[in-house]
Amino acid sequence: MSLYGVMRTGVSGMNAQSNKLSTVSDNIANVNTVGYKRASTEFSSLILKSGSGNYDSGAVETTVRYAITDPGNLQFTTSTTDLAVQGNGFFVVQDTNGNNFLTRAGSFVPDSTGNLVNTAGFQLMGYNIQNGAAPNVSANGFGGLQVINVNQMALQASPSTLATVAANLDPSAALVATPAAAAGPGNYTSKTSMVTYDNIGNAVTLNVYAAKTGANKWDVEVYDPSGAMLTGGPSAATTFKFDVSSTGKGKLDLVGPPPSATSLTVPIPGGSGTFKIDMSAMTQVASSFDFKATVDGNAPSAVDKVDIDSKGVVTAVLKNGTQLPSFQIALATVPSPDHLTPEVGNVYSPNLDSGNVQVGLAGQGGLGTIQSGALEDSNVDLADELTSMIEAQRGFTANSKSFQTGADLLDVVVNLKR
């Protein structure tokens, strides 16, 4: 056995314990860092081949591991843009140079330009779903992702294109005096109105008239504010018939002949294209006239707040009450998350050991859901780290003693010549 080997082994042990103490120190320093994942130092022996009569001391090798898949506790906040992933997955973020990374640190707030940025300065990425567009997900890469910007949601106007109606016409109502005439201001049984929006966001009130022209038969017409008819008059296109048999029970008669109309189509107020009024759910049952309509489109308005649901859909709630789904947050994962490479700013980048990035949407493909108004705490257990610190200190001291003993023995050997 070489005395130099004893000393080198002692140095190896001290270095290993120093590495352990370094990870412990880093963990303690980040005990309150949002989304931080605990690092640990794992030891393995490095054995040298020895002869039958002597032993050559080896060394200890260290490997740093990260408990990235170990989730932290959720801490709830009052900000809807504070986000946490419940389950598998990472937020996709981008630095100022356009490089993409993964992170669990979801403390996002709008910056001066409206981009959602976390405390480390990374921008949150997602898919643009404005105007009803479906997310264009690239499963094996970051293609199609955009920086989520809440300022883009303000002062946007979109024309009304669809109204969904839930209505009931009173079967006990009397026939109109002139059944052959179209329903209108001077000839109707029931009347209601609904607010729509033109291409630049002006509110346009459309008046809907219903005239009972026969048994279980109604004519429904739509007029603009000036009193001009927007539908085509008394024809099959605007005649609604109801099936009052034991089968139909007051629903629209879709068999006929001729079958009942199920919708009305009028020009988009103040613009091009058409506006559809879906009346397929309308009934004629023993109840008074009732008319409820859900109309799309909106007037321009400032953003009052931003809501984010469990699927990551970012919805702007305007001051006028309109809700505009604008972005959907992307989540990503890798085959081996614990092998991701930690980078500055509490983010991770993929490597050969972790595998390639797989991008998807919350709640799909094994990815977790998104909790708005919450942050994921560090997964560091302070009591465990303090215990590990004591262990590292004791181990370092013991290794220094073996080094000191080897040095003392070497002094004895050197002094033999005196």
Using CA atoms, how far apart are residues 281 and 54, in angstroms rounded to an integer? Answer: 92
Q: State the Cα angle at 180 between 179 and 183, rounded to 5°.
A: 70
pLDDT higher for 397 or 124?
124
pLDDT band of 237, cuts 50, 70, 90:
low
3-class DSSP state of 29: helix
Average pLDDT over residues 332-356: 93
Using the predicted structure, report yes or no on whether residue 390 has a pLDDT greater than 80.
Answer: yes
Per-residue confidence (pLDDT) for residue 79, from 0 to 100:
92
Q: Is the peptide bond before 337 cis (omega within 30 degrees of 0)?
A: no
Using CA atoms, how far apart are residues 343 and 309, in angstroms rounded to an integer? Answer: 29
Per-residue confidence (pLDDT) for residue 337, from 0 to 100:
94
CA atoms within 13 A on the CB side of 297: 27
Cβ count near 263 (within 10 Å): 17
Using CA atoms, how far apart are residues 85 and 110, in angstroms rounded to an integer? Answer: 19
Average pLDDT over residues 338-352: 93
3-class DSSP state of 308: strand
CA atoms within 13 A on the CB side of 380: 24
Residue matched to tokens 């403390």: 107
Per residue in 88-123, pLDDT (tens digit) is 999 999 999 999 999 999 999 999 888 999 999 999
Per-residue confidence (pLDDT) for residue 86, from 0 to 100:
94
Using CA atoms, how far apart are residues 116 and 111, in angstroms rounded to an integer? Answer: 6
Per-residue confidence (pLDDT) for residue 75, from 0 to 100:
93
Using CA atoms, how far apart are residues 225 and 194, in angstroms rounded to an integer? Answer: 11
Using CA atoms, how far apart are residues 274 and 265, in angstroms rounded to an integer? Answer: 6
Per-residue confidence (pLDDT) for residue 400, from 0 to 100:
79
Per residue in 39-90, pLDDT (tens digit) is 988 887 766 666 566 666 767 888 889 999 999 999 999 999 999 999 999 9
Per-residue confidence (pLDDT) for residue 259, from 0 to 100:
87
Per-residue confidence (pLDDT) for residue 165, from 0 to 100:
93
Using the predicted structure, report yes or no on whether residue 234 has a pLDDT greater than 70.
Answer: no
Q: Are 206 and 192 a contacting pair, CB within 8 Å?
A: no
Residue matched to tokens 């990551």: 312
Q: Is the peptide bond before 342 cis (omega within 30 degrees of 0)?
A: no
Q: Is the peptide bond before 350 cis (omega within 30 degrees of 0)?
A: no
Q: Name the maximum alpha-carbon separation found in the chain.
A: 135
Using CA atoms, how far apart are residues 333 and 311, in angstroms rounded to an integer? Answer: 16
Using the predicted structure, report yes or no on whether residue 201 has a pLDDT greater than 90.
Answer: no
Using the predicted structure, report yes or no on whether residue 180 has a pLDDT greater than 80.
Answer: no
Domain boundaries, the chain: 3-70+379-415, 80-148+323-376, 162-295
Using CA atoms, how far apart are residues 223 and 207, in angstroms rounded to an integer? Answer: 5
pLDDT band of 252, cuts 50, 70, 90:
very high
Per residue in 268-318, pLDDT (tens digit) is 766 667 888 999 999 999 999 999 999 988 888 778 888 999 999 998 888
Residue matched to tokens 């408990």: 67
Name every residue whose Cβ is closer than 8 Å to that of residue 408 and which is 6 or more positions away in sequence: none
What percent of the chain clears pLDDT 90, i.e. is strictly above it? 44
pLDDT band of 154, cuts 50, 70, 90:
low
What percent of the chain clears pLDDT 70, i.e. is strictly above it? 91
Task: For domain 162-295, give the fold.
Answer: Tick-borne Encephalitis virus Glycoprotein; domain 1 (2.60.98)
Using CA atoms, how far apart are residues 38 and 66, in angstroms rounded to an integer? Answer: 6
Per-residue confidence (pLDDT) for residue 356, from 0 to 100:
92
Q: Are 129 and 326 a contacting pair, CB within 8 Å?
A: yes
